Each structure stands twice: as C-alpha cells, then as structure tokens.
A and B are shown apart, each in its own frame.
Chain A
Amino acid sequence: MSDINIKITDREGVTHDIVAPTDMAMNMMEIVRSYELAPEGTIGVCGGMAMCASCQCYVLSDHKLPEMGVDEDMMLAEAFYVEDNSRLGCQIPITPELEGLEIKLAPES
C-alpha cells in the first residue's frame, strides 16, 4: 500500500481526512490543490518554488519532517502569520513516514 492518511484543516477550520499517494512525487501543497481544500489562485501561486508562501501550513503532529532548505527558511522569514511550526507545503514531499500527519493551512495573505 503506497497511500498514507493525513489530516488537513482548511482555512475555514474544517478538518479533512485525506488519503495521499507516496509514489506520485507529490508534495503537501499539491495534495491540498488536488483535493481543492483552498481556492485555486490562493495556494501554490509560485508553482512550488518556495517563492511565495501561499502554501504555508502549521504542523500539528510531532512527525519528523525533512529539514528546511535555505529557500524555505528565507521565504518564511518574510511571510506573515509565521509560527514556530510553520512550513511551506510545497517543500514537504509525501513519504510513508508521514502516515498520520496533521497540518493546518495558514491564513491567506
């Protein structure tokens, strides 16, 4: 089985149980878009280059995520509504280790 279960809370506060494939080279931003959990044009604006922060999310569970790259780190340094658990969804690849992950989308800015 190459799918994992994750919980995504959208910007309206509704939590969705999502099944995400680990074998499609997808990232969290793309999962959110594929399930249309945020309106088109308000997420993944730069296409996934860590250059816009429209896919910012808060990691609620204590999963170990891949370390932040320089681009992501510097983008978050300029983004709004940033918390200690902020990450950019486009920089989180969907892997089997993320089974049970819980995230919340940051407000649109």
Chain B
Amino acid sequence: MIKTDILIIGAGPTGLFTVFEAGLLKLKCHLIDALPQAGGQCSEIYPKKPIYDIPAFPEVLAGDLVDNLMEQIKPFEPGFTLGERAETIEKLEDETFVVTTNKGTKHHAPIVAIAGGLGSFEPRKPPIPTIANFEDKGVEYMIREPEIYRDKKIVIAGGGDSALDWSIFLADVASSVTLVHRRNEFRGALDSVEKVQELKNKGKITLITPAEVTEVVGDQHVKGVAISQKDRESFVLETDHFIPLFGLSPKLGPIANWGLDIEKNAIKVNNALDYQTNIPGIYAIGDVNTYPGKLKLILCGFHEATLMCQSAYKRIFPDKKYVMKYTTVGGVEGFDGSKKEAPKAVVKAIN
C-alpha cells in the first residue's frame, strides 16, 4: 500500500503544481496517471505547441512547461503510479481514502485531489462491426507485451507515430507485419516514416494503402480481417492479431461512479471556498471541475491547486495554526534536504 498525504489523480500541469504547493506546507504527494508519462494533455496531445497565457511566460511550449514543473517539484519527491487508471475509491472509518488502480495498486491518503483533466486517455476504438467480440482474443488496442506477437501474423491499422513505431518494432518479432492505412501518406516522425519505407523495401512490412479494415473474422480467436479498398473487391487477410492504433481520447471513466456530483462531464466543486467536492476530503481541481464561471485554463488550475492545498492542510491538521509564507521570505525546503532561499544582504561598513 502506497501511503501519502495528498493523493493526486492526474499528472497534468495542475496535478504537478499541486505537489509544489503541498510541499510548501510539508505535505507529501503521490500521483496516479493512466498515461505512461507525466504532463497529461500537454505531453500526450500537443507537446510541441506554444502556450501564450502562462503568467510571466510570453511563450512556452507545452512540453517545456511540463519539464519546468517537474523541475520545480523535484525537491518535494513526489511518487508516481503511471500507466494505471484510478478505478475505485473507498472511504475508511477514519475518513481517509483508499484508491485502487485497474492494476490493483492501492494508495492510502487522508486527501484525494482529482486533477483528471478531461479524464483518462483511452485508446480510440474503430467502429468495426464484430470487433468487440474479439477484444483480448486477438484484438488489442494497445501493445502491452510485445512478446505475445512472436512468430505470429499481425495486422496494424493507423497512420500516426504509434502505428509506425510498432510496425517497425514488431517487424523483428512477428512472422509478418501488415500495416493498413486509409491514406498513402503517414503522419509521423521523419525517421519512422523512412524506416517503414526501408522495411517495406526489404519485404519485412507489407503496406496496404489506401485501405481500411472493415471487419474482423474468426471464432474463438481472430483469424483474419476484411480489408476494403476503393474500387476493388474487399478481401480477407489471414492474421493472428489485429492491432488498431488510432490514438487516445480522454474519457471521464470510473471517476464518474465515485458518487461525486457531476455536471457536463465535470465534477461540481465549491469554488467559493476550497474546490472540495460533495464528498469531504475529495477535491477536484483544473479542467476536471466545474463551477459558475469556470474556465479550463492551466493558470486557473494552478490557482485552484494552491487554495485546495491550504484547505487540505486544515483538514489534516485541524488544530494547527498556519499563516501563508511567501517563498521569497521562507525559501523552499525540499524533502530531499535541499534548500533554496533568497540571498541575504550583507551588512558591512564602508570606510
């Protein structure tokens, strides 16, 4: 069981900044995120895009913003459970919470801060009839264990980086790799596109473009996929696995079943006070919450995180008196023993 003071669900910019504000109050944080890396949408969807409305940053790339946040919170040694989705929450008798992920990892904390953005990123499933019958029976929407494809025939569909990269990787593992895409052009890093071209020329990857997988066939397990091409008769290609890789899209997911007040796919919070939800001890901050006048902006998430941490402190230590201290005055003392502070002025007579 992972124990912490504030369990943060979602490692996007708001969740990451929470670690800093909590750290100033000597509260430790642990973050859970369904994605394998921190940064949320900023890392997953638009790392190379500029953001212009972060105070004091005339321009910053989303990916750099995440890197900077990770650097800023480093002294507070946050824990991470990445690549796992927060699935269930249980309130214990002492008013603390246990949150369990889809992989069974348990986390225990007196405070839960949901900073889940638009939800957890799930693979986008193509609307192919019968595909649902073969999930985990030869149809996989993401690749977890590449070894299961050893010496198997596989078909990958998609035209982005993950389709290209996995085709390249599996070309050395599977007995055959066929890549199906609706266009002749692929959108990906240049060297990935070139590598696929090279493997195609060597006969290690078969490309079928422009084409679409329109059906999955088999009985207990996938046996083939039907491939349609414009102006041609569709045909069935024998395969052991079909891996559609069409990117990820965020879904509110299991959090929607935690008994929280939900409105317009967002969690209602008390914005007059501390961004607490209808369940005391559970807060919602950043894009995932809603209240009158809500704006889904990173800078609003930072503000919400800051106020939320003050409230969390009072909840954990109801009898302690606390006055907010400016970092310029108090400096930043990390849990790792590091200390940053403003340089002291020298007092010295001048003769």
Contact = CB atoms under 8 A, between A and B. Distances in A.
A66 to B, nearest CB: 20
Contacts of A42: 265
Interface of B: 41, 45-46, 49, 118-119, 124, 126-127, 158-160, 181-183, 185, 187, 246-247, 249-250, 252, 264-266
The 9 A-B residue pairs with the shortest CB-CB distance in the complex, in nearest-first order:
A41-B265, A40-B264, A74-B187, A77-B183, A80-B127, A77-B182, A40-B265, A46-B45, A78-B159
Contact of A80 (B45, B124, B159, B250): B124
A52 B246 CA distance: 10
A39 B264 contact: yes
A27 B159 CA distance: 27
Nearest to B119: A41
Contacts of A45: 118, 249-250
User: Interface size for chain A: under 10, 10 to 19, 20 to 34, or 35 or more residues?
Assistant: 10 to 19
A80 B49 contact: no
Contacts of B252: 41
A52 B45 contact: yes
24 contacts: A39-B265, A40-B264, A40-B266, A41-B118, A41-B250, A41-B252, A41-B264, A42-B265, A45-B249, A45-B250, A46-B46, A51-B46, A52-B249, A54-B249, A74-B159, A74-B183, A74-B187, A77-B159, A77-B181, A77-B183, A78-B187, A80-B126, A80-B246, A109-B124
Nearest to B212: A82
A65 interface: no
B266 A78 contact: no
Given A41-B118, A46-B46, A51-B46, A109 B127 contact: yes
Interface in A21-52: 39-42, 45-46, 49, 51-52
A37 to B, nearest CB: 13
Given A39-B264, A109-B124, A49 B45 contact: yes
A99 B8 CA distance: 47
Given A39-B264, A52-B249, 12 more contacts: A39-B265, A41-B118, A41-B119, A49-B46, A49-B49, A51-B46, A74-B187, A78-B158, A78-B187, A78-B246, A80-B126, A109-B124
Contacts of B246: 78, 80
A56 B341 CA distance: 51
